[in-house]
Amino acid sequence: MRFTEIGQQLRQYRLESGLRAEEIAARLGVSRAALYRYEKGEVIKLDTIKRLAELLKISPLSLLGIGVEYVSRATVYFDRIRVIEESTDQILQVAGQPPYLIMSDAFDSALAEVFAEAADAAGPERAALRLQSDQLLGILQARKRVYQARRPSIIAILTVASLQRFLEGGVGAGVAVSERARAQARAVALAEVENIATLMEAEPIGVQLGLMAAGEPNGAFRILRSRERAYLSINPFRLDVHPALQTGVAMITGADEALASHQKVAEALWRDVLKGAAAAARVRDLVRAARG
């Protein structure tokens, strides 16, 4: 058993449950220090794993990384992805928003400004919104640091519709902000989409971007692969909406059947997408249309 992965999942489930470490340790009959050691990858007895699963109301198989993880909070989901990406060698994305990891620092700054303005307008909820947005931004920055250090390959299938939505709404399109902030967010989105066109045309090592010229898959997903294992992620949480205002349940699984089915869909779509100069030209058409 991979006790490091069990520990990582234990930490994620602890955060998801809302229980304090002291509460979990007391219910398990262990010290808080022992609980933290488990989270860091120390060997856990099978009977302890069973008690943990019962306490956290999950399947023992899920805790062992065999079943399906369900995550109902945006910040917890993105932190779980951060942990998985620490050992990921390849990221395959089908549809959804443009991959965050290829976005520039200007995207991060624009997202932070949009979230900050939304929090300032929230009255008594201001502190709570600030806390959640700061947590999410910190997680995103940590993900980008991991990406820059490891440089896993990225293969992404983008859609015309998703790029159009990004261009029309800008960064943080689902957050109500002033016209000034919205104009800046759209300007950053224009620059990001222009960079996507450049990447498509240049085809740098480690980044492959394709474009579906028509239609959209019924659902977006990501497959994250390392040498030892792979995960499928289906995620309802978005970066254009404040994390405190999102509801949904993300799913993460390493089940072979799920991975094989989604890999097959991705390969079929990849054969038909626009690539290279043809994809770049189509994306630049979208940019010109957005500029008016």
The CB density around residue 260, as the number of other CB atoms within 10 Å, is: 11
Task: Please report the pLDDT score of residue 172 as a whole number.
Answer: 95
Q: Which residues of the chain have pLDDT under 70?
A: 1, 62-66
- State whether residue 225 is helix, strand or coil: strand
Task: Please report the pLDDT score of residue 1 as a whole number.
Answer: 57
Domain with CATH 1.10.260.40 in the chain: 3-66
Specify the DSSP class assigned to residue 170.
-
Interior/surface letters 159-173, b for 16+ CB within 10 angstroms, e for the rest: bbebbeebbebbbbb
Q: How far is CA 38 from CA 33, 34, 35, 200, 273, in A?
A: 9, 6, 5, 44, 45
Terminal Cα distance for the chain, rounded: 57
Domain with CATH 3.30.870.10 in the chain: 71-291
Task: Please report the pLDDT score of residue 39 as a whole number.
Answer: 87
Q: How far is CA 117 from CA 73, 181, 182, 200, in A?
A: 22, 8, 11, 33
71-291 fold: Endonuclease; Chain A (3.30.870)
**Contact status, residue 154 vs residue 69, Cβ threshold 8 Å:** no
Structure-token pair, residue 197: 């066109």
Task: Please report the pLDDT score of residue 210 as a whole number.
Answer: 97
Provide CATH code, domain 3-66.
1.10.260.40
- pTM across the whole model: 0.81
